[in-house]
Amino acid sequence: MRKVPLHEKGGIIHEKGAGYCTVRLRIPAGLITPDHMKGVVRIAKKYRADLHLTTRQTIELIHVLPQDLEGLVGDLSGNGTPLGAEKAEIVNITACPGTDRCRYAMIDSLSLAKTLDEKFFGREMPVKFRIAISSCPNSCVSERLNEIGITGVVMPYRIPGTCTGCGTCVQYCREKAIAIKNGQIVLDNGKCFHCGMCIESCPFHIIKADPAAYHITIGGRRGRHPRVGYHVVTVKSPETVVNIVELVVRWVYRKAWSDSLLPDQLDILDFESFRKELVKSIPEEEIVTGY
């Protein structure tokens, strides 16, 4: 296998005019310690580079001289903030704050992002491949506009005979999926977005939910023609999510080609047949229906 020269690696982006380079870092979910941040600043000063915070939750050192790349990348690796990815490979995993600190969160998005980064980051692909995780359907990281999107969801239910009909949940539901009828709440599951906001808003803790699940989409796209990915399956555990990502990555690596983005290839690649086989491979007890 040919050894890729440093200037051809995905984390090296050649700027307009080719006189300078931008160096993108690997910072899964945008999490960085104060010491690592100090190190990045020190390295930027050493090589007279400015810093740019990107939409994919990482940092770029900009206006780097090509002759400084080898020393700079070595210093970044020693700092624990190694070279990132940008080209036909699995790029920086993005995630919202999750249950670590968000009041609306349904899943631990950060732990899942770290696991996916350790297993998949930088893997060579025929196309640029993005993975994003949002811990609820508010989609703060636009996960459904990525090649793989993972969204935390819940299925709310009312404890019969205990609702006071106060209407608090009705006011909080952004989808107008809840109504008060005869003093009781009625949920329209067709309108429900499975965000759990009604659960959090209930002052009497009458609305409950089954354990949070992971809603997986494939084939989303950002850019000039954005498109929401196709819902493939909703599953119970992060371990199953990781297994599904592995299967999708293998399929894309074997089947896709490099002339167009993955969403533009799905019909030709017979994505529907792959989706059916993928769902069949998942243990039945892991699949959650009704979403």
Residue 187 neighbours by CB under 8 Å, 6+ apart: 156, 157, 158, 177, 178
Taking residue 12's Cβ as centre, other Cβ atoms within 10 Å add up to 21
Helices 109-120 & 238-255, crossing angle to 10 degrees? Answer: 40
Q: What is the pTM of this model?
A: 0.93
- Give the residue carrying structure tokens 């909080």: 172
pLDDT 10s digits, 210-259: 899 999 999 999 988 999 999 999 999 999 999 999 999 999 999 999 87
Whether the pLDDT of residue 2 is over 70: the answer is no
- Provide the 8-state DSSP code for 228: P
- Give the residue carrying structure tokens 């930027």: 44
Mean of pLDDT values over 44-73: 97
Domains, the chain, ordered by start: 6-78 (3.30.70.3340), 94-153+212-286 (3.30.413.10), 156-209 (3.30.70.20)
Cβ burial of 29 (10 Å; 0-12, 13-18, 19+) is buried
Tell me what pLDDT residue 259 has.
79
Helices 34-46 & 69-78, crossing angle to 10 degrees? Answer: 160
**Stronger pLDDT, 202 or 46, i.e. the higher one:** 46
Query: Pairing between strand 59-64 and 148-153?
Result: unpaired
Indicate the pLDDT class of residue 3, thresholds 50, 70 and 90.
Answer: low
Name the token pair of 139. Answer: 């989609």
Report the largest interatomic distance among the alpha carbons of the chain, rounded to a whole angstrom: 75
Name the token pair of 103. Answer: 């009041």
Residue 99 neighbours by CB under 8 Å, 6+ apart: 105, 106, 107, 108, 109, 135
pLDDT 10s digits, 76-100: 999 999 999 989 999 999 999 999 9
- Cβ atoms of 40 and 52 within 8 Å: the answer is no
pLDDT 10s digits, 162-202: 788 888 999 999 999 999 888 788 889 889 999 999 988 88
Whether the pLDDT of residue 156 is over 70: the answer is yes
- Counting Cα atoms < 13 Å in the Cβ hemisphere of 113 gives 33
- Cβ atoms of 159 and 202 within 8 Å: the answer is no
Name the token pair of 20. Answer: 């300078």
What CA–CA distance (Å, rounded) separates 27 from 56?
9
Which of 8-17, 66-75, 221-230 has the lowest average pLDDT?
8-17
